[in-house]
Amino acid sequence: MSALLSRPEIEDFLYHEAGLLDDWRLPEWLGLFTADARYEVPSTDLAADASPDDNLFYIADDRFRLEQRVARLMKRSGHSEHPRSKTRHLVTNVRIAANDGAALAITSAFAVYRTKDGITDLYVGRAFHDLVADGSGLRIRRKRCALDLDGLRPQGRISIIL
């Protein structure tokens, strides 16, 4: 078992993730995820720990669909994000909920600004990162973004990655 990672090291990892998203380096961002990874955004009237197997989410991707999501966003025919929006992912209030050296459960607060066509929308909420630490560093096994919103009003869509 490796030495326990400290919060600054985990924060560096989350900031790195945020930077890749804001730079639209999505294939590299995808490289942060494990082969069995999940990415989830529950609907705003669900509990933060609801299951996507019997509840309607906004997003519930397995690894395959996450790859497809990235592929779609990199295409010109992904109209919603072409021309691309500008985004800024702010990550704060990082806490280590569990850490046994190999598996970590991290919670954080996020605020993501998306600007397109003169309109800036805000997505705010709590992120849950299940991380695994192997010899090569940290990988994301699950990322769940629970929005602190009453619906996507006025945002309308989650066409970027939160």
Partner 1 sequence: MREPLGQARQEYVRVDPGRGLFKVSRRAFVEEQVLAAERAAIFDRCWLYLGHDTELAEPGAYLTRSVGGRNLIFNRDAAGEVRAFLNSCPHRGMRVCRERKGKAKYFQCFYHGWTFANDGCLKDQPGAGSDYGEAFNRDGGANLVAVPRLEPYRGFWFVCFDRNAASLADYLGGAKEYLDLTADQSEAGMAIIGGTQEYAIRANWKLLVENSYDGYHALTTHATYLDYLKSSVGSLAPVPIDGLARDLGNGHAVVEYTAPWGRPVANWIPMWGEDGKREIDAIYARLAARFGAARAERMAKKSRNLGIFPNLVINDVMAITVRTFYPVAPDYMEVNAWALGAADESAWARKFRLFSFLEFLGPGGFATPDDVEALENCQRGYCNAAEAPWNDISKGMLKNAPSVNDELQIRAFWTQWQTRIGTAMPAEGTPA
- Chain positions contacting partner 1, by CB under 8 A: 41-46, 50, 52-60, 64-65, 68-69, 71-72, 75, 77-80, 117, 119, 150-159
Q: Give the residue with the Cβ less far from partner 1, 22 or 62.
A: 62
- Residue 100 CB, nearest approach to partner 1 (Å): 29
Q: Give the residue with the Cβ less far from partner 1, 4 or 71.
A: 71
CA distances from 30 to 45, 137, 139 (A): 28, 15, 10
- Residue 3 CB, nearest approach to partner 1 (Å): 38
Asked if 159 contacts 81 with a C-beta cutoff of 8 angstroms, the reply is: yes
Closest CA to 122 of 98, 97, 99, 156: 156
Helix (H, G, I), strand (E, B) or coil at 29: helix
Q: Give the residue with the Cβ less far from partner 1, 98 or 150.
A: 150
Residue pointed to by tokens 């299940």: 130
- Residue 96 CB, nearest approach to partner 1 (Å): 28
